[in-house]
Amino acid sequence: MHRPALLLATVAVLAGCTGSTGAPSSTTTSSSTTTSSTTTTIPAPIGLPRGATPDDVFAAITNDLTDRLEVSADDLVLLRDEQATWRDGSLGCPEPGQTYTPAPVEGFWVILEIQGFAWDYRVDDTGRFRLCTNPVPGGEPAG
């Protein structure tokens, strides 16, 4: 399927429409900024309303999943999008052989569903995220 490419092409066309004012080239720089923010604010998938995760991080997570599965963002269902305080740097999803900061880490927890399967993304306080495929018991956020 080529739906991600179609989605990007549609966003590019729409962004181009918002920037065509016929003004001097200095406006083009402003339009470029608008285009950048337009491509990072992907509408929330159906399901729950969007939560606490910053738009650029949420867009990157959505893009990651749609690229992995070669599906459209329209096919995603939002199950969770909330701020989280993880017990340590593993974000409740340690990888074998890795060591982590033993202090609480602020971040976000995003779970998307597609075709009956839930995809669990953990985000740290810098906006870095990873797909958690092996959460540990008790790996939920603290508190």
Alpha-carbon distance values, 132 to 39, 52, 108, 138 (Å)? 25, 19, 13, 14
Largest Cα–Cα separation, the chain: 58
Distance CA 39, CA 42 (A): 7
pLDDT in tens, the chain (143 residues): 444 333 333 333 333 333 333 333 332 222 222 333 333 344 555 555 678 899 999 999 999 999 999 999 999 999 999 999 999 999 999 999 999 989 999 999 999 999 999 999 999 999 999 999 988 887 888 76
Question: pTM score > 0.75 for this model?
Answer: no
| DSSP alpha helix (H) spans, 41-98 | 55-69
Type of residue found at 38: T
Q: List the one residue out of 141, 81, 63 whose CA is nearest residue 105.
A: 141
Distance CA 71, CA 74 (A): 8
Distance CA 4, CA 53 (A): 22
Kindly compute the dihedral angle of the four CA atoms of residues 141, 129, 104, 133, in this order, to the nearest 10 degrees. Answer: 50
Type of residue found at 55: D
Identify the bridge partners of residue 130 per DSSP, sorted by sequence position.
122
